[in-house]
Structure 1
């Protein structure tokens, strides 16, 4: 009978050791950047009941995180215009890698993995070129950067993968910024937000632009249900407060664009933060930090005109 050491050596040689999964990370179902009462910044894993499964330190203020689809690993992104992203083992708390945006780029705070977990896609700013790019990283080789491609717009904020396992959807907020001016918005009069659908190789599949009335409605955060319907939360950049909605839906199969009139600019003080959807798309939830509101919406919504 083989002894334990030779047995484990054989497993290692065959690559057959069990891989540490999310079930071992305290049943975390959600990831959130946070700030502790003492001012330190954290990445927290939350259970479906909202309990803290784990909390891991971050070097600075985080914005969002991307969960590996199979392994208990998460990428925590710096808040715009930060240039770091930390790869964390959510069981041991060990830092596995640190990503640095290349020269002339900064992160926008979001990323997503390919379905098989081998590739990470990150939203970035080519700030001298005034265009958005999607960074591509090899998650199997120390998160080595492979390259980048155009996001199809300016100021790409959130990025998600559709249920087909391939298509990427990007929220191009439309706002041009530059690290030399911090978080100053440089092009409000001419901004043009859009949703773009891209292949993993960067081919533009579809671009959805909002009508003229929504020209200053910056698309920020996304949620995708099991049917591939994309919910998008917006933030109004105008000085006025028109009766326009801040929550929309788009469905590629029918090329439908719809809005939730209840999530209006005046009611939400021009600002939606997070958006989430149930898998069947039957319920949407949004937060408005400025309006101090959590709103639950049940589609269908009003068609876009």
Structure 2
């Protein structure tokens, strides 16, 4: 009779050795960075109710994280312009690797894994040339193995279309340089776009109207049918154009906006964006305005306008949205709009679904 040991040896010989899954890290629903009361920075895993499952130390302020599709690994990115990304085993807290941006580059705070989990893609600024790049890393040992053009300047967020390895990149159009901190160096000539990339080649690209060229495309969400929602940040004067866009490859973009007096509450700034599980609703947060606006994707009508100070991250729940702020986490449904302020962490910009 075969023993467990011989059975495992047989699996190893066949390349089928079991690997740890996210269950080894407590089965988190979300990842998010934050600052603890004492001023230290952490990456946390949260359950579906917003309770902390694990918290792991970060060397500096985090921005977003990339969750491996199978293994309990997260890549925590520094707030831009940052030159480090930390690969964490969320099951045991071990730092598996530290990614360093190549000379002349800095990370933009976001990354995405390939469908099979074998490759990590990172958004990067080539600040010596003003060109955007996507860094390519072998996710087995996190060696850098290549790069390609992002299709524009200032690539910020990056997502993968479901069921494929087509990447969508939010090229914000803004040039920055570490010597100048977060100063925006090319506002008069900025040119944001949404680029779709596969095998290192641009497959489709969306640019904004010329009058909207200061509307920096920053953050992304993707529905199961491939619809992309993108959130923007207005760098111009006066009331901003629409700050939420919807697009699918091969079609024209659509833009959603509330009436002026409600739209103005966003203060020209989307901090994070999410699509509902069905794709029927899109929600965008504005930490500047302290508001979350939710729209019906089919009609473009405003569904809800929730006010919450220092609101930041947002992610999809079964029937609503989970939303983080400097004060805690709450749901978007009116009957359950309850902020949890007992966790001792001020949550940062993004809430990432695992």
Residue 213 (structure 1) shift = 2.2
Q: Contact between 2:121 and 2:136, CA under 8 Å: does it hold in 1?
A: yes
Q: Contact between 2:22 and 2:71, CA under 8 Å: does it hold in 1?
A: yes
Residue 59 (structure 1) shift = 0.9
Partner of 1:29: 29
Partner of 2:147: 148
- Structure 2, gaps ≥5 residues long: 302-354
Is 1:116 matched with 2:113? no
Secondary structure at 2:205 match in 1: strand
Can you list the C-alpha shifts for 1:149-205, whole angstroms capped at 9, x where unaligned?
A: 110100000000002412110000000001111111000010000000011x21011
- Structure 1, gaps ≥5 residues long: none
Secondary structure at 1:43 match in 2: strand
Partner of 1:160: 159
CA distance in 2, matches of 1:243, 1:104: 33
Aligned mate of 1:260, from 238, 252, 256: 256
Aligned length: 299
Matches for 1:1-305 after TM superposition, within 5 Å? 8-140=8-140, 142-199=141-198, 201-238=199-236, 240-253=237-250, 255-262=251-258, 266-300=264-298
Partner of 2:327: none
Residue 242 (structure 1) shift = 2.1
Q: Contact between 1:245 and 1:263, CA under 8 Å: does it hold in 2?
A: no
CA distance in 1, matches of 2:290, 2:273: 14
TM-score (norm 1): 0.93
Residues 263/164 of structure 1: CA separation in 2 closer, same or farther (3 Å cut): farther
RMSD: 1.9
Q: Contact between 1:134 and 1:149, CA under 8 Å: does it hold in 2?
A: yes
Q: Contact between 2:240 and 2:268, CA under 8 Å: does it hold in 1?
A: no
Residues 12/151 of structure 1: CA separation in 2 closer, same or farther (3 Å cut): same
Residue 271 (structure 1) shift = 0.8
Residues 190/301 of structure 1: CA separation in 2 closer, same or farther (3 Å cut): farther
Residues 45/114 of structure 1: CA separation in 2 closer, same or farther (3 Å cut): same
CA distance in 1, matches of 2:289, 2:70: 36
Can you list the C-alpha shifts for 1:16-36, whole angstroms capped at 9, x where unaligned?
A: 332111123222121111111
CA distance in 1, matches of 2:194, 2:299: 18
Residues 54/182 of structure 1: CA separation in 2 closer, same or farther (3 Å cut): same
Residue 15 (structure 1) shift = 3.8
TM-score (norm 2): 0.80
The higher-RCO structure (CA 8 Å, 6+ apart) is: 2
CA distance in 2, matches of 1:241, 1:198: 34
Runs of 4+ deviating beyond 6 Å = none
CA distance in 1, matches of 2:202, 2:241: 29
Residues 196/120 of structure 1: CA separation in 2 closer, same or farther (3 Å cut): same
CA distance in 2, matches of 1:21, 1:27: 8
CA distance in 1, matches of 2:240, 2:177: 31
Residues 6/111 of structure 1: CA separation in 2 closer, same or farther (3 Å cut): same
Secondary structure at 1:266 match in 2: helix
Q: Contact between 2:239 and 2:268, CA under 8 Å: does it hold in 1?
A: no
CA distance in 1, matches of 2:194, 2:101: 23
CA distance in 2, matches of 1:54, 1:213: 46
Residue 286 (structure 1) shift = 1.3
